[in-house]
């Protein structure tokens, strides 16, 4: 025996599963109604949600943090997508900043080289010379690191 009910909005006889519990309009009619209501009251709804977000910013931050922790893969994919989309723009910004702040740029590059793992400096040394990895000592690595810093400073015309 199939249970059927008449929709109060479209006046059609439909299966009981097409209705929400305790509702007289079918799911389709209700969704149409809510879409129309949203279109009519869109500005007011957005303004109210904005006010609520401002008043409850701690809760919003907590909810966002919770969502990001639960959906780390989605966040990572979105960030990589955004980065790939705006990659050229980011490079242009970095170039502009480095031209405006040459001292800070040189200092940041110096810190980068200072923190660079030894294996990368060893690979630089092997590529440019006839040295073997066994021949390279800590002193050679430190000298190479200083040399890289000096080359960068000369390139940026901060050192004559």
Domain extent, residue 118, equals 101-155
In a domain, 72, yes or no: no
Q: How far apart are CA 9 and CA 25, in angstroms?
A: 6
Residue 48 lies in a domain: no
Q: Does residue 46 fall inside a structural domain?
A: no
**Residue 87 Cα to chain centre, angstroms:** 13
H/E segment holding residue 5: strand 4-6
Instruction: Indicate the number of domains in the chain.
Output: 2
Contact 113, 148 (CB under 8 A): yes
Instruction: Answer whether residue 93 is part of any domain.
Output: no
Residue 160 scores a pLDDT above 60: no
0.85 exceeded by pTM: no
Of 29-43, 71-85, 91-105, 123-137, the range with the lowest mean pLDDT is 123-137
């Amino acid at each position: 025996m199939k249970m059927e009910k008449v929709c109060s909005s479209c006046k059609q006889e439909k299966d009981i599963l097409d209705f929400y519990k305790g509702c007289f309009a079918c799911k389709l009619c209700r969704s149409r109604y809510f879409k129309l209501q949203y279109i009519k009251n869109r500005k007011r709804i957005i303004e109210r949600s904005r006010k609520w977000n401002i008043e409850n910013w701690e809760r919003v931050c907590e909810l966002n943090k919770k969502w990001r922790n639960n959906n780390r893969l989605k966040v990572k994919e979105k960030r990589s997508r955004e980065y790939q989309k705006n990659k050229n723009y980011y490079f242009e910004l970095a170039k502009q900043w480095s031209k405006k702040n040459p001292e800070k740029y040189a200092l940041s590059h110096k810190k980068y080289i200072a923190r660079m793992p030894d294996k990368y400096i060893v690979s630089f040394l092997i590529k440019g010379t006839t040295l073997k990895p066994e021949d390279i000592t800590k002193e050679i690595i430190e000298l190479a690191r200083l040399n890289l810093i000096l080359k960068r400073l000369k390139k940026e015309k901060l050192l004559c």
